[in-house]
């Protein structure tokens, strides 16, 4: 009977030791993974900060061009001469300017060299009505100036992009069957000129300093994880001592 009790005691001690060991492994794995995640995300934010710094410098140094014949750099100031194509106007839905709800007017323009450009002509207030607004478009040749933005797919989209004459996100796709190929993949956000309405668009560029702050936050999290792992390991020591004590008693 005593032998049976000793065997059961040893088995119980072994099971407890095995459970404690796996808990200790789990403790280290969890905090190490958290530290690695923080380090990786910090490095990613640091890389994004460098990219934003380069993009900001490029925008600040972008040239002013008149009827360009080569692809403009992002942020370049373009001056175009040509004629609007009002029959192919669409509206960028759900724009806000000074607390007013409206749309941005999107009209293709054919420049004097026969090249096509998509012009974002500015904001028109509509309120909550879904009826397409009536906008005046010059029929004669026009001159306008605006900022060039290359096409991108950054905007969130829920459902179809095209609803009647309204777009949820700006894109060249709605004109692919009505307008010959656009000169370049992108659009001009008009600021001044004929047929231009209120300016609402601003480049959505997060400053590099914010990405750097995020990077240090993630690295701080990684450091805290490592410190917690190191300090917390002491809570597993009593179990190991208790196990050694049980082994001595059994002898």
How open is the CA angle 73-78-83, to the nearest 5 degrees? 130
In 59-141 the beta strands, taken as DSSP E runs, fall at: 64-66, 77-84, 90-97, 100-111, 116-125
Q: Is the pLDDT of residue 2 over 70?
A: no
Using CA atoms, how far apart are residues 224 and 61, in angstroms rounded to an integer? 41
Confidence of residue 242 (pLDDT cuts 50, 70, 90): very low
Using CA atoms, how far apart are residues 160 and 93, in angstroms rounded to an integer? 13
pLDDT value, residue 58: 74
Q: Is the pLDDT of residue 248 over 60?
A: no
Most confident of 23-32, 69-78, 134-143, 242-251: 134-143
Q: Is the pLDDT of residue 18 over 70?
A: no
8 A C-beta contact, residue 143 and residue 81: yes
pLDDT value, residue 142: 97
Q: Is the pLDDT of residue 50 over 90?
A: no
**Hey, is 88 helix, strand or coil?**
helix
State the DSSP code for 169: S
Q: Is the pTM of this model over 0.75?
A: no
């Amino acid at each position: 009977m005593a032998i049976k009790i000793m065997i059961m005691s040893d088995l119980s001690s072994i099971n407890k030791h095995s459970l404690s060991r796996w808990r200790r492994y789990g403790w280290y794995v969890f905090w190490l993974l958290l530290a690695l995640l923080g380090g990786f995300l910090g490095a990613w934010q640091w890389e994004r900060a460098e990219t934003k710094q380069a993009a900001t410098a490029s925008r600040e140094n972008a040239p002013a061009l008149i009827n360009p014949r080569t692809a403009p750099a992002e942020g370049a100031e373009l001056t175009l001469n040509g004629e609007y194509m009002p029959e192919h106007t669409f509206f960028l839905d759900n724009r806000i300017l000074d607390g007013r709800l409206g749309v941005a007017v999107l009209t293709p323009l054919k420049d004097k060299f026969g090249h096509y450009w998509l012009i974002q002509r500015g904001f028109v207030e509509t309120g909550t009505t879904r009826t397409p607004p009536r906008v005046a478009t010059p029929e004669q040749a026009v001159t306008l100036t605006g900022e060039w933005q290359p096409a991108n797919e950054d905007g969130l989209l829920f459902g179809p992009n095209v609803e009647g004459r309204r777009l949820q996100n700006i894109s060249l796709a709605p004109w692919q069957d009505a307008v010959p190929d656009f000169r370049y993949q992108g659009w001009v956000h008009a600021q001044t000129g004929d047929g231009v309405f209120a300016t609402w668009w601003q480049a959505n560029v997060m400053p590099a300093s914010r990405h750097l702050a995020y990077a240090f936050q993630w690295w701080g999290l990684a450091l805290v994880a490592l410190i917690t792992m190191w300090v917390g390991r002491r809570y597993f020591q009593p179990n190991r001592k208790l196990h050694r004590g049980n082994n001595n008693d059994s002898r």
